[in-house]
């Protein structure tokens, strides 16, 4: 078992503040309800999900062809295309482009990929100032924290927390909590950074193989402003972001924001096809474990993810444990099926951070069988020795009992007897019985059903 804390241990820290847990749960449930209203108002929503799922399945089934098609089209548009096998290579490539441009000031719009690759620390360590321009990302960058959600990176913070952060870093008035004023302070601060930046880095929501264009969806317009002003644009994408044709895009834009926040579409859906006159445009295509996941038949479908965050908003565990309890760039149910591919030992507890209720699968706009994959990862992790030895041993023991009716009958009788006569303080002892932290054990009956049945004989049917 891994040395790093488990999801349960990190969750227990989050749960210590019961009021904040309530607030976090209700905030994300509110987003889930907005999503529901948008879905109910779109009668063809389930057809769109199927279509999106089919398009992604198809694309993944011949990804190498689509990647080659995309590269050729992008090169023909005058875009420079780079390939990175892993995070380190991605970071080297991006730093190389920045240096070649003679730049030291970079603004970056929202990109989970660059978070995954830990690009910011790499650039900062090499003397490049990098400023996150998405409001949520900027807030957590000032606080030196990781995003806790893929769409709402600072959702773990209250407006009071943001006021405190801005007071410390941006010189706003102490105790300021008005969202409008806080946002205005961030705008003023970011405006200077936008104007001074020489390089703009963006993520990619969709890459169109047919046209070689990348599509970036934002609500703040920060990507557009940065890319419009800077001389160099670097778009960083995971290799699963491809869709075959421009006409496929509408299916995804209709699903993405309805699923994410309940909006019909993002405020800005920007297509970047070729560099403007006198400017440079680069696309960095990153593998970083994706082709390995593509090679796992049970888990391949996780690469269909369009990062809408709906599985996080709906997950009753995520809402009560917070994104940081997952210890992986992508938190929540989707993160729990992506992370073991990267490091089974470190993330061994994540597929167990679910009741397998299936709500994640039911909201997923591209129909990833998330809860089935959670179940399957559990089997892989146990087989590879990444579950606690005590658990494995007790399950082996249980199996022996349950395959033998006489042992089961005897074992049950002993357990019920024990529960009847051992004092409550012992059966419910803190530290020994995790059930009892908030729950009473069932009152053990004198007779099991099988004992009752043996006495009664079968109940006679009237007919």
Q: Residue 33 or residue 54: which is nearer to other proteins going by CB?
A: 33
Minimum Å distance from CB 334 to other proteins? Answer: 15
Q: Residue 175 or residue 297: which is nearer to other proteins going by CB?
A: 297
Q: Residue 12 or residue 210: which is nearer to other proteins going by CB?
A: 12
Minimum Å distance from CB 298 to other proteins? Answer: 12
Minimum Å distance from CB 339 to other proteins? Answer: 16
Structure token pair of residue 71: 């590269």
Closest to 422 in 3D by CA, of 408, 432, 407, 410: 432
Q: Residue 278 or residue 458: which is nearer to other proteins going by CB?
A: 458
Q: Residue 105 or residue 416: which is nearer to other proteins going by CB?
A: 416
Q: Residue 237 or residue 315: which is nearer to other proteins going by CB?
A: 315
Minimum Å distance from CB 254 to other proteins? Answer: 17
Closest to 99 in 3D by CA, of 198, 6, 230: 198
Minimum Å distance from CB 184 to other proteins? Answer: 35
Burial of 434 (0-12, 13-18, 19+ CB in 10 A): exposed
What is the dihedral angle through the alpha carbons of 180, 323, 126, 281, rounded to the nearest 10 degrees? -70
Q: Residue 423 or residue 442: which is nearer to other proteins going by CB?
A: 442
Minimum Å distance from CB 250 to other proteins? Answer: 22
Q: Residue 76 or residue 402: which is nearer to other proteins going by CB?
A: 402
Q: Residue 68 or residue 407: which is nearer to other proteins going by CB?
A: 407
Vertex 256 angle, CA 252 and 262, to 5°: 140
Minimum Å distance from CB 301 to other proteins? Answer: 17
Q: Which residues, 6 or more positions from 311, have their beta carbon under 8 angstroms from its beta carbon?
A: 318, 332, 333, 334, 360, 363, 364, 370
Q: Residue 3 or residue 406: which is nearer to other proteins going by CB?
A: 406
**Cβ contact 416:430 at 8 Å:** no
CA distances (Å), origin 32, targets 35, 156, 309, 314: 5, 16, 10, 6
Minimum Å distance from CB 153 to other proteins? Answer: 22
Residue appearing with tokens 């559990």: 378
Minimum Å distance from CB 140 to other proteins? Answer: 23
Minimum Å distance from CB 147 to other proteins? Answer: 21
User: What residues are paired with 200 via a beta bridge?
Assistant: 107, 233
**Cβ contact 377:299 at 8 Å:** yes
């Amino acid at each position: 078992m891994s040395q790093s804390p488990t999801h349960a241990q990190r969750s227990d820290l989050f749960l210590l503040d019961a009021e904040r847990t309530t607030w976090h749960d209700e905030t994300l449930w509110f987003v889930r309800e907005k999503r529901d209203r948008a879905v109910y108002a779109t009668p063809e929503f389930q057809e769109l999900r199927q279509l999106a799922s089919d398009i992604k399945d198809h694309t993944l089934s011949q990804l190498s062809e689509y990647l080659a098609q995309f590269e050729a089209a992008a090169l023909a548009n005058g875009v420079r295309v780079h390939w990175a096998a892993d995070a380190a290579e991605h970071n080297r490539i991006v730093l190389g482009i920045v240096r070649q441009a003679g730049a030291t000031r970079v603004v970056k719009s929202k990109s989970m990929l660059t978070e995954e690759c830990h690009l910011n620390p790499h650039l900062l360590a090499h003397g490049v100032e990098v400023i996150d321009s998405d409001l949520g990302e900027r807030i957590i960058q000032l606080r030196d924290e990781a995003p806790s959600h893929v769409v709402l990176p600072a959702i773990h913070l209250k407006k009071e927390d943001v006021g405190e952060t801005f007071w410390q870093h941006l010189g706003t008035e102490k105790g300021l909590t008005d969202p409008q004023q806080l946002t205005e302070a961030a705008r003023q601060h970011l405006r200077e950074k936008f104007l001074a930046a020489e390089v703009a880095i963006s993520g990619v929501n969709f890459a169109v193989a047919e046209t070689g264009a990348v599509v970036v969806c934002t609500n703040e317009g920060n990507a557009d402003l940065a890319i419009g002003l800077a001389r160099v644009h670097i778009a960083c994408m995971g290799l699963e972001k491809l869709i075959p044709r421009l006409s496929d895009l509408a299916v995804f834009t209709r699903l993405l924001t309805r699923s994410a926040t309940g909006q019909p579409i993002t405020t800005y859906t920007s297509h970047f096809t070729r560099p403007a006159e006198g400017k440079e445009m680069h696309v960095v295509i990153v593998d970083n474990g994706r082709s390995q996941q593509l090679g796992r038949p049970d888990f391949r479908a996780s690469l269909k993810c369009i990062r809408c965050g709906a599985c996080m908003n709906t997950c009753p565990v995520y809402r009560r444990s917070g994104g940081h309890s997952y210890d992986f760039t992508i938190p929540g149910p989707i993160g729990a099926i992506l992370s073991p591919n990267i490091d089974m030992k470190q993330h061994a507890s994540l597929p167990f951070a679910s009741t397998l209720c299936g709500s994640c699968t039911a909201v997923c706009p591209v129909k990833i069988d998330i809860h089935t994959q959670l179940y399957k990862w559990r089997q892989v992790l146990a087989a590879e020795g990444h579950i606690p030895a005590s658990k494995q041993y007790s399950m082996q023991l249980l199996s022996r009992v349950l395959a033998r009716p006489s042992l089961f009958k005897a074992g049950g009788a002993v357990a019920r007897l024990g529960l009847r006569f051992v004092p409550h303080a012992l059966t419910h002892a803190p530290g020994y019985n995790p059930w009892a932290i908030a729950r009473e054990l069932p009152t053990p009956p004198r007779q099991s059903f099988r004992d009752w049945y043996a006495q009664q004989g079968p109940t006679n049917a009237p007919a």
